[in-house]
Amino acid sequence: MNERFELALERIKETDWYTFESFSINFLQEEFPDIRSKATSSGDKGRDAEVISLTSSPLILIQCSTSKNWKKKINDTVEKIKKSFKKCSHLIYCTNQKIGALSDDLVKDVRNSSAIMLDIRDRSWFVMRANSTDLKSMLSEELCKKFVDVLLHEKNVINLTGCALDEEELKAAHLFLSIIFSENYDNKNLTKLSFESIVRCVMRNTNESNKMKIDGIVTEVKRILPSHSEEKIKEYAKNALLRLTGCIVKDGDEYYLTSEEISKRSEQLAIVEKEKNRICDAIIEFADICVSEERIKKQIKQQESKIVESVFFVIDKYLLSRGELFASMVNSGSQYKLAYAELKDLIRNSCSQLKFKISDVDQVDFVYNILIRLFSSPSLEIVKYFRSVVNSYTIMAFLRETPDVQKTIKKLFGSGEIWLDTNIVLPMFAETLLENDESKLYTKMISSAQAAGLSFYVIPGVIEEIKGHLLRSLKCMRTSKNDWIGPIPFLYSY
């Protein structure tokens, strides 16, 4: 539930302050049985709740806030408390914002200036304790239902995914495929994985009181893959249902998703939404970097949501076109070339569908520069997102060409010999220093290709070049910074 709960806290807006305040006070109830809410429309004098003391004025006050400007909110609260509650010794500040170590200096300042012990309980604090007791688990689940699960009913996640696709079912299929292929699927049959994902997709609204028959499932799958015969789709769909016995319940001639599968899907959708939020932040960051004039930066600030929507549209359109072309050429035996240069032409042809308009800024160059920065970003979150989207569009394109994706992939990668250059081998050496396997992108790429049947070789010259680089790295390590001449070796700087 933690992914859903963290997203729920992230999605709480400043206007949802009352909901968050009620949640926070109830969340603290077990720790402070004597907690009392004190918020009123006429003003709370710097606190939303206090821990009742029968012998004196309250020593512990609680402030709950959804404000993004948490520093100002805390400082204002402390000033009010100093005037109204002079004996207050502790202030517990509850917030849905992510603060962490950023508050260290503020905590010291408050203690030194007012002798108040400031205890900040931010988003991470709540997430870590979400399942610690039955009460906290219940409260967290209620918040998830209000702010996260509603995404499914509003279809926001589906509509904001696969922007270049027209039909809702295609967008949903793309979303479910991207979820599957964002996970570790090495050495698994792609045809089976794909049809299991699509069957889950068409059954996404089923439950114990809303079931589907096999004919209805086949009809919905055929809407997504219209080029294949009903008999072939029925065969693959039936086999997928048999493999999904742990996720799907068969009741007579009807099927529906288990409650565990529905909860798992909500958790997965929460992860998708969080990943997209990170990409949104990156788009705004890169948009700001692309311009220098303050007046233009102000226009960007005013049109952030439109810029994000436009960039996502171009990303999806570009990756969809690449995936379809790749699948078509592989299936026909033609040669495929990655036309990265065509990105600018695609943006130019999409100008009428871009939602933003910034004076004195060329839309094409602006979007192009943002995308170049996104595509070349070293951020693992961004890399993971694009990898899942690319895989989803490519697999969907293959499925629309042929239902047996595994056979087609084997046709492409079933055999072959590849000779690796130092530019590939050297990063693999560097990746042996990493503890997190997810960060070993080059190693994972080569391992997956080997599992598909490819063989890799290096010439003696590459080995000599690697040896020379290792020796140079050792020499650099043993030489003082002031005495070293020339660039720092790649391995030593990794």
Taking the CA atoms of residue 109, residue 110, residue 113 and residue 117 in that order, the dihedral angle to the nearest 10 degrees is -130
3-state secondary structure of 93: strand
User: How big is the chain by its Cα radius of gyration, in Å?
Assistant: 28
129 plus 229 within the same structural domain: no
84 plus 122 within the same structural domain: yes
Q: How many domains does the chain have?
A: 3
194 plus 105 within the same structural domain: no
| Number of CB atoms found within 10 A of residue 416's CB | 12
123 plus 188 within the same structural domain: no
Cβ burial of 203 (10 Å; 0-12, 13-18, 19+) is buried
Among 147, 173, 206, give the residue marking a domain's end.
147
Let me know if residue 286 belongs to a domain.
Answer: no
Query: Which of the given ranges, 99-103, 343-347, 385-389, 485-489, has the highest pLDDT on average?
Result: 99-103
> CA-to-CA distance for 86 and 18, rounded, in angstroms?
26
168 plus 44 within the same structural domain: no
Q: What is the pLDDT of residue 54?
A: 46
pLDDT at 402 over 90: no
Reference 427, options 469, 464, 391, 386; nearest CA is 469
Among 113, 147, 181, give the residue marking a domain's end.
147
Between strands 90-95 and 35-37, the pairing is unpaired
Residue 488 pLDDT level (bands cut at 50, 70, 90): confident
Let me know if residue 237 belongs to a domain.
Answer: yes
> CA-to-CA distance for 22 and 461, rounded, in angstroms?
68
Question: Over the chain, what is the mean pLDDT?
Answer: 82
Let me know if residue 208 belongs to a domain.
Answer: yes
Strands, E assignment, 315-447: 417-419
Let me know if residue 254 belongs to a domain.
Answer: yes
For residue 225, what is the domain's CATH number?
A: 1.10.10
Let me know if residue 341 belongs to a domain.
Answer: no
Between strands 417-419 and 254-257, the pairing is unpaired
Let me know if residue 305 belongs to a domain.
Answer: no
Structural domain for 205, as ranges: 151-263
- pLDDT tens by residue, 281-319: 999 999 998 888 888 899 999 999 999 999 988 888 887
> CA-to-CA distance for 296 and 143, rounded, in angstroms?
39
191 plus 217 within the same structural domain: yes
Let me know if residue 329 belongs to a domain.
Answer: no
Report, as an integer, the average pLDDT of 408-416.
61
- pLDDT tens by residue, 2-42: 888 988 898 898 899 999 999 999 999 998 888 877 665 44
Among 231, 263, 295, give the residue marking a domain's end.
263
> CA-to-CA distance for 241 and 105, rounded, in angstroms?
56
- pLDDT tens by residue, 452-474: 667 889 999 999 999 998 999 89
17 plus 133 within the same structural domain: yes
Residues contacting 368, CB < 8 A, separation 6+: 343, 344, 347
Q: What is the pLDDT of residue 392?
A: 80
122 plus 174 within the same structural domain: no
Let me know if residue 343 belongs to a domain.
Answer: no
pTM > 0.75: yes or no? no
> CA-to-CA distance for 410 and 423, rounded, in angstroms?
27
159 plus 106 within the same structural domain: no
Per-residue DSSP letters for 387-425? HHHHHHHHHHHHHHH-S-HHHHHHHHHSS-EEEPPHHHH
Report, as an integer, the average pLDDT of 163-175.
64
Report, as an integer, the average pLDDT of 425-440.
82
168 plus 185 within the same structural domain: yes
Task: Kindly state the tokens that stand for 353.
Answer: 């569908």
pLDDT at 265 over 60: yes
91 plus 157 within the same structural domain: no
For residue 40, what is the domain's CATH number?
A: 3.40.1350.10
250 plus 167 within the same structural domain: yes
Residue 434 pLDDT level (bands cut at 50, 70, 90): confident
Write out the H or E segment, with its range, that includes residue 332.
helix 304-332
